[in-house]
């Protein structure tokens, strides 16, 4: 899977053009689940562009209530039925906007309840890594979500994105070995806690056309969540091609 998080970039017109260019760049790569996550203002227009292309649509965030006096928020009920995915727990939400682990859990459960596929982002800061707390941090972030799952609909439709905060938008990519080590840990943690198979786990953090193939060569890395480079369709297309199963690449 290769998903592009556009963050707070592009006008609506630019976003429509970018979505068309991504579809063209993604078309030759069979067997890769490709998604774009434009800003909320663009979702409906980009939804039209993506029709029939196989490229899926995602939102970058969501609130956990269905409706009500929550000025500025967007609910999962508003996205359900036409938007495929929603990203929750991105480090910019956690660190710039103070989103807590339990709030991420509420967003996760509410999105699943509305049939949205959830990309759950987890990852440690550089201080946490230096203090040897990487596994403890991702475990805590995952467990906060799992704590809210009781009574929630089946967990058949979710993806985890391991995104070390120190690698996001910094040009400092985790080495394939560093990413593999944490992704393997995450998968084992999910299996231990949920007594079920782990979903796909993506790596995110300064993924480029130059480093994608070496990350995808690791046994547990199932794709990438891409920020900056997802705004450049041609380079994003190279990342998509690098994720293609070998016999269709």
DSSP SS3 for 29: coil
State the number of binding residues for ligand PEP (CB under 6 A): 13
Candidate list 10, 111, 180, 206; residue touching ligand PEP; CB under 6 A = 206
8, 39 in Cβ contact below 8 A?
yes
Long-range contacts formed by 197-200: CB under 8 A, 24+ apart: 198/160, 199/155, 199/158, 199/159, 199/160, 200/1, 200/159, 200/160
Judged by CB under 6 A, does residue 225 bind ligand PEP?
yes
Binding segment (CB under 6 A) for ligand PEP, from list 12-20, 130-138, 194-202, 221-229: 221-229
**90 is annotated as an active-site residue:** yes
Judged by CB under 6 A, does residue 228 bind ligand PEP?
yes
Binding segment (CB under 6 A) for ligand PEP, from list 50-58, 137-145, 183-191, 219-227: 219-227
**185 is annotated as an active-site residue:** no
Judged by CB under 6 A, does residue 168 bind ligand PEP?
yes
Candidate list 5, 75, 141, 148; residue touching ligand PEP; CB under 6 A = 5
Judged by CB under 6 A, does residue 207 bind ligand PEP?
yes
Q: Which two tokens stand for residue 170?
A: 């910094």
Residue among 92, 124, 163, 235 flagged as catalytic: 163
Nearer to ligand PEP, 78 or 179 (CB): 179
Name every residue whose Cβ is closer than 8 Å to that of residue 175 and which is 6 or more positions away in sequence.
Answer: none
Candidate list 54, 115, 169, 245; residue touching ligand PEP; CB under 6 A = 169
Report how far Cα 18 is from the mean position of its chain's Cα atoms.
19
Task: State the residue number with the nearest CB to ligand PEP.
Answer: 227
Judged by CB under 6 A, does residue 39 bind ligand PEP?
no
d(CA 230, CA 90): 16
Residues contributing to the site for ligand PEP (CB under 6 A):
5, 7, 163, 168-169, 204-207, 225-228
> So which residues are the catalytic ones?
90, 163
């Amino acid at each position: 899977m290769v998903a592009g998080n556009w963050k707070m970039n592009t006008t609506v017109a630019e976003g429509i053009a970018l979505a068309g260019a991504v579809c063209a760049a993604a078309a030759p790569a069979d067997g890769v689940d490709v998604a774009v996550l434009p800003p909320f203002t663009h979702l409906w227009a980009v939804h039209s562009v993506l029709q029939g292309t196989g490229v899926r649509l995602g939102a970058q965030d969501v609130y956990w209530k269905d409706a009500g006096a929550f000025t500025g928020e967007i609910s999962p009920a508003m996205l359900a039925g036409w938007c495929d995915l929603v990203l929750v727990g991105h480090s910019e939400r956690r660190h710039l906007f103070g989103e807590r682990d339990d709030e991420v859990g509420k967003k996760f459960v509410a999105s699943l309840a509305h049939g949205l596929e959830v990309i759950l982002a987890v990852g440690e800061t550089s201080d946490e890594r230096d203090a040897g707390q990487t596994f403890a941090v991702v475990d805590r972030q995952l467990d906060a979500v799992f704590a809210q799952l009781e009574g929630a609909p089946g967990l058949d439709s979710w993806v985890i994105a391991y995104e070390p905060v120190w690698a996001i938008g910094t040009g400092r990519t985790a080495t394939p070995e560093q990413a593999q080590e944490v992704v393997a840990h995450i998968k084992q943690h999910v299996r231990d806690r949920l007594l079920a198979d782990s979903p796909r786990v993506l790596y995110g953090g300064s993924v480029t056309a130059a480093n994608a193939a070496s990350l995808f060569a690791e046994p547990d890395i199932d794709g990438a969540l891409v920020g900056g480079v997802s705004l450049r369709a041609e380079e994003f297309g190279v990342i998509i091609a690098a994720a293609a199963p070998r016999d269709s690449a």
